[in-house]
Structure 1
Amino acid sequence: MAKPVRAALGETWLSCQVCKGDMFRERSVLLNSTGMEFMKLAWADESATGLICWTCGYVHLFVNKNIKLYRADK
């Protein structure tokens, strides 16, 4: 199972939009487009950082590469 992380964007620590939790599970998410799928080039689409709230499961997507992840002790 994935380890929990905390995330910050600059000096701002992120919290869940739904439950205000501050621990997440991180995964890369492909932002597929219909045209690229049709041409079988989905692998070339842009990706985002997905932060899944450890408490409620809400998925937050970030395309900003400046997001920093820090290991959290659960």
Structure 2
Amino acid sequence: MAKAVRASLGEMWITCQFCKGDLFRERGVKLNSTGGELFNFAWADETATGLICLRCGFVHLFANPQIQLHRAKD
């Protein structure tokens, strides 16, 4: 299983919108466009940071590259 992380954006700590948990699993997510898929340029589409809440499984997507991930203590 991937290491648990906490996340922040500037001075704000991110919590789950659904359950208010603060531990996540991080995953890169491609934001595919129709044109990119149609012409086989999906590799050039924008990426986002996906944070999956470890408590409830809700998936949060952040396209802001300034998001910071912090390894949670075991």
Output the TM-score relative to the length of structure 2: 0.96
Matching residue of 2:5: 5
1:11-52 deviation per Cα after TM superposition (whole angstroms, max 9, x unaligned): 100000000000000010000011110001101100000000
Task: Quote how far apart the aligned CAs of 1:73 are.
Answer: 2.3
The share of aligned pairs that are identical, in percent, is 66
Q: Which runs of at least 4 in structure 1 moved beyond 2 Å after TM superposition?
A: none
Task: Quote how far apart the aligned CAs of 1:4 are.
Answer: 0.3
Note the aligned Cα RMSD (angstroms): 0.7
Matching residue of 1:40: 40
SS in structure 2 of the partner of residue 43 of structure 1: helix
Counterpart code for 2:50: G
Q: How many pairs are equivalent?
A: 74
SS in structure 2 of the partner of residue 20 of structure 1: coil
What residue ranges of structure 1 are gaps of 5+ in the alignment? none
What residue ranges of structure 2 are gaps of 5+ in the alignment? none
CA–CA distance in 2 between the matches of 1:41 and 1:35? 8
